[in-house]
Each structure stands twice: as C-alpha cells, then as structure tokens.
Structure 1
Amino acid sequence: MRAVLGDALIAVYPTGSLALAGYVPGRSDLDLIAVVAEQTTASALRTVAARLAHEELPCPATGLELVVYRKQTVMDGGVEAGYALDFNTGRELPAKVSLDPAEGPSFWYPIDRSITYQSDLALDGASPRSLLTPARFDVLLPVVIESVRAHGDAIGEHGDNSVLNGCRALRFGVERRWYAKPAAGRWTRNAAPEFGPLIDAALASHAAGRPARQSASQALSAAEVTAFLEYVLERLRDQELSDRTAGSPSGP
C-alpha cells in the first residue's frame, strides 16, 4: 500500500478477530483498516486492490478483508459505512472491490472501527486512539441490534457465525466492550445456560476450521439459532431502553 499511496497512507490497523486476539489459523480472515488522506483518488484505490489481489500477492490466511477510509470519516464518530474502498480477496473469500458504501449493509463498518479503537493496535502509523473517534455506546447499540437482526434473516448463510456474533453482541451490550467470538461464546454459555448446547456446537464448529465448519454449521438447528438470536435481541433492546431511561453515560 505504501508503494502505491506513499505519504497518503496514514495508518493501517487490525480489526475483527485479529485485533481481539481471537485469530484462528485456517478459519479467520485477516481484517484490516487503513486510513488515507482526503485527496486519495479512486484510481489509486483501485490500484491498491489490484496489487493486493490474491492472484498477485497470495494471502497466507483464508482471506483478506481490507477497508480503507479517508481520514475525516474515522474522526467523526458516526455509524455510516463511509468507506473509500471495501476490498476482499483470498483463497476462500469471494473477491470484492467496492468504492460505493451504499452498495450493502452498513453495520459492520462502525463495529469494526469500534473494535479497532478499543484494541489500540497499529500495524503502521499513529495509534488508533490518536486518530479514530468511535461512535458512542448509545449510538452504536442500535447498529449492533441491526447486525443481530441481519444474522437472524440469513441463518443458513452464516452458520455458526450467527450464534457467535450473537454472543459477541450480547456481551458488548452488557459490558460495553468487544471480545473475540470464542471468549464471547464461553461468557454467553454461562450467562444463558439454556442455550449452552447450541453455543458449544457453534464453538466446536468455529474451532474446526472452514472445511469442517461447513458441515458442522449445517448441523446447527435453525429453530434453535432463531430462538437464541431472538433472546439476544430482547436483551439488547432491554439494555437500550434501560440506558435511555436511566440517562446512563454514553461514551465509547
């Protein structure tokens, strides 16, 4: 990226499982955020995507998910997608090059920015907390609720991720802090033991890696996953209402 963008590349940060010490070889993608100068052109970003494509620079992980933002976007504390480039590549990840943040759901992007801010890890450039402004908890929680609802609408597509993202969302709602999916799953298993067998199955599927995960995920009961996500949504909505009623602090 530096070879293409030069000084216009301001910083590169891990996000997702990599930032939360939850990276699982053979299962996890490399999730990265890059921040670039405002004047960075679409042409330059397309060149970045071409140079980083798996066919040109093989990704050692199952996939690379890189989201590039112009500096002002990561400083405003908003919950819009707001990316300048959303790029996926890798041996097990469908290729994607998008320069239009209106092309898909927006909820993953502010969540990942929040994770990056919390971790405060930098691969290149200034620390995230010196550059990023995350959305406040009261602003981000409705986005987290939206993400859980989206998983409920596509259970067959997401498999164990539907369960473990639900666990991660639930723990965030309670503790206002992000955890890797396995840690969030173990916490939720104790917090909601009635869903223990489902969560254990999702954790086992997650640990098995992608080839084994596909069949393991298919074994999860759609009805049980739906019931669990409805439970998570109810808890998060209760938290949202409680915070609003109490006028609780709404910092990051």
Structure 2
Amino acid sequence: MEDYAGNVASAMAATLGSRLVGVYLHGSAVLGGFDARRSDVDVLVVCEGPMTAVEKSAAAERLSRERLPCPAHGLELSIVTFSAAQHPTARPAFELHVTTAPEDTKYVDGHDREGDPDLLLHFAVCRSAGRLLGPGRPAPEVFATVAEDLILAQLARELRWSTGHAPGEYAVLNACRAWRFAVDGALVSKIDGGRWALDRVSGPDGELIRTALDRQRRLSAAELDPRAVQRFVDHALSRLTETSA
C-alpha cells in the first residue's frame, strides 16, 4: 500500500505541478483498522486554485484502475482547493472525486455539484492525523480547524445513513466512534471506537459491539439483529444531540 500511495502522489504532482499544495493519506490507513480486503485507500489532494478541464482529465486517466491498480479495495480520492481546506463548511466544494472500487468506479466533477458533506470529516482527520505523501505543506497548515458543531452534525448524518445503506457492523462501529467524539472530541477508526465503547457497556450492547468487531475483521460471527443495530445507533444519536445542545 505504501508504494501505491506514493504513486498516487507522483501522479498528482505530474498533473498539478507547482500548483500542488500537498497529497494527504487519511482514513483507516492512518487511524488504524486498515484491511486491504475491504478498506479503501483514502487520499485528499489540495491544489492552489480551481483545476482546468485538462487537469481533471489527466488526473482521472493517471489514477484509473487500469493505469494504477490499487492493492486494496479501491482508491477514494478527492481534490480540493486550498481555500476550501482553509474554510470548511457543511458541504465543502471539491474539484474532482475519484473512486476506483470495482463496483463503484466513478469520476465526479465537483463543479457540477453543491459540495460533498463527507469531506468535512476528511478535513478534520487530515488536520489531526493526515500523512503527507511526498513534498508539500504539513497538514495542520493546510486544513483549518473544523467547528465541533459541524462535525457533530456530519457524524449524525452518517449514522442516519448507515442503518439503511451499510452493513450492521459498519453502523454499530460508526456509532461507537461518534460516541467517542461526543465524549472527548477524538476522531478515531471504527475499530478503535468499538474497542473504546466496549469498556463502557455491558450485556447485549457489549455483545453487539464484540460481534460487530469480529465481522469487521472478517472473523466468523453471527448476523447482527437489525433491530438491535437500530437501537444502538439511535442511542448514539441521542448522545450526539445532547452534546450539541
């Protein structure tokens, strides 16, 4: 994965030249819990200003699965301007989004969209733990502090989405990491969030988290009861609401 991440950075340097501010690895690759069987390689690229159509086309071609095969589930990469990274909003603007997972390969021009709310947490993780790939400016100089109320709102949005669109283990462990942020402001991986929560619950909730952790690690484990998952997520949402009140 290290060689691949370096090749992604080289491709961005070739595309943006002197206008490249930096290429930053984030997500499970820096927070922990990375598993090549199911994890994406998460990358944020920052450029000085808006990209041209030629640059976007070149980036899409250089990052394609055919040109640059990913050793993990896929590449999840967004390119944003320095201004967007310095002024985080609820829906940060982006220049280009690239996904190379086999079942969801896509290239999205940000100029046709109203922004991407998922970028908010990516910005926050990059500021606290993002790893610069190749030359560029350190992440804390590039990504401004994201307001706590914006992070809480996005965590709540992700929790509501997860119960209808994601596997049960994803929803449970995402709820654990959201709970952790509500308690001490730390942004951690889903695995670390689950481990942290295990020390604070017992009974059915503890068993639910243990099963979710096993399933996340691809260990043999029972199916999760959707009703139990929903109850656990609803409890996490109530904690987020209390924190933001």
| Pair in the same fold by TM > 0.5 | yes
> For residues 77-156 of structure 1, what are the structure 2 equivalents within 5 Å?
77-90=88-101, 92-100=102-110, 106-124=116-134, 125-154=136-165
Distance apart, 1:104 and its partner CA: 8.6
Distance apart, 1:93 and its partner CA: 4.8
- Which among 33, 48, 52 is matched to residue 37 of structure 1? 48
- SS of the residue 1:86 aligns to: strand
TM-score by length of 1: 0.84
Aligned position for 2:34 = 23
Separation in 2, partners of 1:65, 1:58? 13
Distance apart, 1:127 and its partner CA: 0.8
Q: Which amino acid aligns with 1:128?
A: A
Segments of structure 1 that go 5 or more residues without pairing to the other structure are: 242-252
Aligned position for 2:174 = 165
Separation in 2, partners of 1:65, 1:132? 18
Aligned position for 1:220 = 224
- SS of the residue 2:199 aligns to: helix
Alignment deviations for residues 194-229 of structure 1 (CA, whole Å, 9 cap, x no partner) = 4111111111111118xx8xxx68x21111110110
Aligned position for 2:189 = 180
Q: Which amino acid aligns with 2:187?
A: W
TM-score by length of 2: 0.87
- Which among 70, 78, 82 is matched to residue 67 of structure 1? 78
**Would the alpha carbon gap of residues 109 and 102 (structure 1) be closer, same or farther in structure 2, given more than 3 Å must change?**
farther
Distance apart, 1:98 and its partner CA: 0.7
**Would the alpha carbon gap of residues 104 and 163 (structure 1) be closer, same or farther in structure 2, given more than 3 Å must change?**
farther
Alignment deviations for residues 212-249 of structure 1 (CA, whole Å, 9 cap, x no partner) = 8xxx68x21111110110010011111111xxxxxxxx
The answer as to 2:211 corresponding to 1:201 is yes
- Which among 228, 234, 240 is matched to residue 238 of structure 2? 234
Note if contact 1:107-1:146 (Cα within 8 Å) is conserved in structure 2.
no
Alignment deviations for residues 160-219 of structure 1 (CA, whole Å, 9 cap, x no partner) = 21111111111111110111111110111222324111111111111118xx8xxx68x2
Identify which range, 185-194 or 52-61, moves more after superposition: 185-194
Separation in 2, partners of 1:24, 1:104? 32
Distance apart, 1:105 and its partner CA: 8.4
**Would the alpha carbon gap of residues 81 and 170 (structure 1) be closer, same or farther in structure 2, given more than 3 Å must change?**
same
- SS of the residue 2:92 aligns to: coil
Q: Which amino acid aligns with 2:36?
A: P
Q: Which amino acid aligns with 1:23?
A: F
Separation in 2, partners of 1:49, 1:178? 30
Alignment deviations for residues 85-117 of structure 1 (CA, whole Å, 9 cap, x no partner) = 111004x45101111377598332101110110
CA RMSD of aligned residues (A): 2.1
**Would the alpha carbon gap of residues 196 and 107 (structure 1) be closer, same or farther in structure 2, given more than 3 Å must change?**
farther
Separation in 1, partners of 2:85, 2:103? 26
